[in-house]
Amino acid sequence: MNLYEDRFEVRFSVDSAELKASKQLRYKVFIEEMGGKIKEGKIESKIEEDQFDQYCKHLLIIDHKKKFGNSRGNIVGVIRLMLESEAKGGLGFCSSKEYNLRPLVTQKKKYLELGRTCIDVSYRNSLVLHYLWKGLGCFSKENDIDFLFGVASFPGNDVKQISMALSFIHNNYLAPVEIRPKALKDGFINMDIVPENKIDKLKALREMPSLLKGYWRLGAMAGEGAFMDKILNTIDVCILIDVLNMTEKYKNYYGK
């Protein structure tokens, strides 16, 4: 899969140098910007990686207008993808470390897990997100994917700072109970915090990262409870998207 429009290219990493660059972007976002923790041996190399990387495909967003030296472009966004076959042949889905996925993955569907999604701070606008969705849509179509799922992160571990957003998600986006993953007990956060009649939608949306709002526009649903990740210093929400029932506007547009 390869998409190239104007200055931006969307494709999978092709060598160890590009994979390293994608992990350096993850370090910049998850460690330097969001305050996550990392093993001492990884600090000097400034890469963020884990044991699931070797079982995943790494989808890159490359800006060809800004090149450095002899590079093939500047990697400004990355999303890690794991097919069900790769999960079964490896360590399972990464999201299972935070959520009980059994209600979802026992359905007779084809799944694609999304993870470690991040965009360079200077590129966090609708244009780059637009290319990310297009690449994701193309790959999903090529592989006949039924469900997309993964976790989307709020920076920090302070529940009070995002209580309105969590409550809004709980009251508007919960997946049907028969397919709804639930956060594991060791990091479970009840999202039903603010009474429904006191939820301020605009405040809730202001508390949400743009990536998470993008998922809702794609027709995403949420799992039960959020999960506190003390290692990456985030509060995570499980998102799942039924590709067949995706918002018609986006399904038609990104499925072209």
Q: What is the pLDDT of residues 143-168, one digit of tens each?
A: 999 999 999 999 999 999 999 999 99
Q: Return the pLDDT at 70.
A: 44
Q: Per-residue pLDDT averaged across 224-249, rounded?
A: 89
- Comparing C-alpha atoms, which of 86, 85, 104, 204 is closest to residue 151? 104
Contact (Cβ atoms closer than 8 angstroms) between residue 151 and residue 98: yes
Q: Given this structure, which CATH class describes domain 2-254?
A: alpha beta
Using a pLDDT cut of 70, give the percent of the chain over it: 89
Q: Return the pLDDT at 253.
A: 64
Q: Return the pLDDT at 41.
A: 55
CA distance 247 to 26: 29
Is the model more confident about 39 or about 157? 157
Q: What is the pLDDT of residues 163-177, one digit of tens each?
A: 999 999 999 999 999
Q: What is the pLDDT of residues 197-215, one digit of tens each?
A: 999 999 999 999 988 998 8
Q: Return the pLDDT at 137.
A: 86
Q: What is the pLDDT of residues 58-91, one digit of tens each?
A: 999 999 886 554 456 789 999 999 999 999 988 9
Q: Return the pLDDT at 202.
A: 97
Q: Per-residue pLDDT averaged across 168-196, rounded?
A: 97
Rounded to 5 degrees, what angle do the CA atoms 153, 151, 12 make?
100
- Comparing C-alpha atoms, which of 152, 170, 173, 166 is closest to residue 216? 173
How many other CB atoms are found less than 10 A from the CB of residue 176?
9
CA distance 113 to 94: 8
User: DSSP string spanning 87-127?
Assistant: HHTTT--GGGGTEE-HHHHTSS--EEEEEEEEE-GGG-SHH
Q: Return the pLDDT at 100.
A: 97
The domains of the chain are located at 2-254
How many other CB atoms are found less than 10 A from the CB of residue 97?
16
H or E segment to which residue 21 belongs: helix 16-26
User: What does pTM read for this prediction?
Assistant: 0.89
Strand partners, 183: 99
Helix or strand or coil: residue 143?
Answer: coil
